[in-house]
Amino acid sequence: MARVPTAVPELHEDEAHSVVDIRTESLATLRELGPPDLVHLVKQPLKSTSKQVGVYHHVTGIDASSSASLAAYMNTLIHNSIDKQTKVTSGLYCCYNAFSRVDMRVQIYIPGTMESYCMDERGNKLEATEEHWLETYLCSVLRAYSYADNGSGDTIKRIIGVRRFNPIMSTEQEHKFMDAAERLFFSGWQLGSDPEIQVPNLVSNHLTSGLLHYIKTTGRYASGINLFEKLRSRDPEIASLLAKVYVAGDEEVKAVQLLHDVVQELSMDYSLLDCQAEFCNQRGRGDLALEVAKRGVIAAPSEFGTWARLAEVYVGLEQWDLALLTLNSCPMFTYQDKDAPRLPEPARITLPLAPETMCEEIDDAGATPDSELVHPTLRRLAAGNYKGTFLKAYVLLTEITKKIGWDQLLKIRSQVFVMEEEYRQEKHTGPGSKNASTIALRGNDTPQPNGHAETVDEVAEPSVTEASMTESEESQANGEPSAASSHLDPDVSKPSSSVTVRSGSQTPQPQPVNTDPAHQTYTQFQHKRLCERWLDNLFMVLYEDLRIYTIWRTEASQYKQHQLAYKKSAEEWEILGELAERLHHPEEAVEAWQSCLSIRFSPKAMRGVLSMYERKGDGRGQLNALIRLIAWQYRWYSEFSPDLLYTMRKLIEEEGAVKVRSIIQATSLPQHILDLTHTYAGLCAAFRSSGSDG
């Protein structure tokens, strides 16, 4: 398929080679897949041979299987340049190989010569081999998926000047990808893993995550099944990946049979057990999932995922006390972000706009002053910044709150955890007592980096923590308005202080939690547990979310009663939309996002509206949102968003390609904008997705 041309961003550096030198120095610090590819060009004015300037941008999705393909990309930049006042004298393409931990580089000089080599972590030049190029190609494809934006614009805004291309646009390119993945599969653990995984392994690493992401995005389940069946013949552990693809491809009978057979052979493989527990729980059979999830915890007690799955099962079974106790036992890891370019501020930035992407309706370039209009209490909401294990734990806590309410959650919290007042009473009556209620669970101290937990053989002392000052109190102390605070107290109770513990970072062991249906009586002090400090903090963050949400809804209701306009800035509406979504109030979230869109275009708000249309099965609404999101992505140099492609594929599967194309054409936007969406639909046809032939 022909690519729709996007413009080329240019970041200007002060010294011609400083950006390349800094990238070289940073190679030793890279821990994951590596940063996006760096393209560096040296230009000089046509009328001067002495003055040179370096310009650069980043890119993902370019075929990195050979030096020729990278040189071809640079030649395209040179020949299609719209700058007629300068000429390019040289170009350098840098692409990180996370397997061998070297930077693959292709240098071209105008006119004439080309050189390719590897740069290792010590800055030494090495010869580039065929094996190096195979590894680099696979890393490049995985980075294209890892660094892609989900449609909200958050990833695009994080790193300025990144061109994002789709690395696999045909079945031929897919075969190349699958072949490389098969050849390097058993080295995939070297690439690292998602932040929720403590130790990367054969089935939990960036390669397997990338493969599953690709299969889900494109719907190429047969290709995934073929790959994992071949690999499974070499190692039965890979059956968990095969089962996931079977389930995604609507072949559940095969998945169940496979899991049943392999678990007989590998009874304590936690990936298989987790896959089995997830399947049972999603089918409403928490009773079956429970015992499997418990075995998963025993098989991998140091992994967050097994504990989180057990807590999820308890939530489904409405065993709230056991859900909280299990959540409290989760080992938490510090979030380790993707490798990002660590470069100085450019001297100048040029962000041109390609004619094919121009559309006034989706232009949000002038939206930055909005940030000055955000109330500090909204800016300080901490939950929106959670990632990794802390995000997943917070989601579980909000799911419990949605089902039973905040007050009931606090009641159960006080039943299972030692509260401040009773701790003081116990300390006064029996200061020397030591039992299960005053010795910490053996969990992590401060959250540990992914895969780098240390062992400390000590038992942490319990500490009494006062609940943090509420935002309204802070507002009053700082002279800021505390809107509608008088309407809050009856609705959201402030959590009383619990006794928390910062436990030693020894691997947590499965706790002897009473799983009898009658549950243990927690009214007696000696039966209670100490609450981990991180979980206690989550309660306070959740309280603040609920407090601000209640203020918003109370104010909005009052303004509506008095027939007054309730005004917020566009960014405030974005934050409120995310807040409502976090608390599982989808209708209120959409209300906030639509209010934002009435002020200016926002990809984050439009992505939220798209999710609403998906839930309601509104195909026309989905396409209206998709067209605008895809156009915005192209505007900011991204022709590839796996999430948006997945939405398009599912829509074509449900509605048929002919109907989808006709709805796109009937939209009252310029034809060149509609053509961008047709490109996504064309990808589905290239992959022969379900529904693309009619």
pLDDT tens digits along 591-644: 999 999 999 999 999 999 999 999 999 999 999 999 999 999 999 999 999 999
Asked whether residue 154 carries a pLDDT value surpassing 70, the answer given is: yes
- Predicted local distance difference test score (pLDDT) of residue 200: 94
3-state secondary structure of 248: helix
> Do 117 and 222 fall into the same domain?
no
> Do 29 and 159 fall into the same domain?
yes
8 Å CB contact between 5 and 355: no
Side-chain half-sphere exposure of 607, counting CA atoms within 13 A: 19
Q: Which whole number is the average pLDDT over 392-419?
A: 95
Comparing 156-170, 362-376, 485-499, which segment has the lowest mean pLDDT?
485-499
8 Å CB contact between 326 and 307: yes
Whether residue 558 is contained in a domain is answered as: no
- Predicted local distance difference test score (pLDDT) of residue 148: 96
Domain final residue pick, 164, 188, 223: 164
- Predicted local distance difference test score (pLDDT) of residue 446: 35
Average pLDDT, the chain: 85
Q: Which whole number is the average pLDDT over 56-63?
A: 97
> Do 488 and 625 fall into the same domain?
no
pLDDT, tens digit, 9 for 90 and up, residues 158-208: 999 999 999 999 999 999 999 999 999 999 999 999 999 999 999 999 999
> Do 235 and 117 fall into the same domain?
no
Q: Which residues contact 489 (CB under 8 A, 6 or more apart)?
A: none
pLDDT, tens digit, 9 for 90 and up, residues 207-222: 999 999 999 999 999 9
What total number of domains does the chain contain? 4
Q: Which whole number is the average pLDDT over 571-600?
A: 96
pTM: 0.86
Asked whether residue 366 carries a pLDDT value surpassing 70, the answer given is: no
- Predicted local distance difference test score (pLDDT) of residue 604: 96
Read off the CATH number of the domain in which 580 is found: 1.25.40.10
8 Å CB contact between 220 and 478: no
Asked whether residue 286 carries a pLDDT value surpassing 90, the answer given is: yes
pLDDT, tens digit, 9 for 90 and up, residues 265-275: 999 999 999 99
CA 8/CA 77 separation, integer angstroms: 8
Q: Which domain holds residue 399?
A: 379-551
> Do 512 and 610 fall into the same domain?
no
Comparing 215-229, 364-378, 424-438, 614-628, which segment has the lowest mean pLDDT?
424-438
> Do 507 and 605 fall into the same domain?
no
- Predicted local distance difference test score (pLDDT) of residue 591: 97
Asked whether residue 473 carries a pLDDT value surpassing 60, the answer given is: no
Convert 464-496 to b/e letters by CB count within 10 Å (16 or more is b): ebeeeebbbeebeeeeeebbbbeebeeebeebe
- Predicted local distance difference test score (pLDDT) of residue 340: 84
> Do 101 and 23 fall into the same domain?
yes
The residue with greater pLDDT, 544 or 366, is: 544
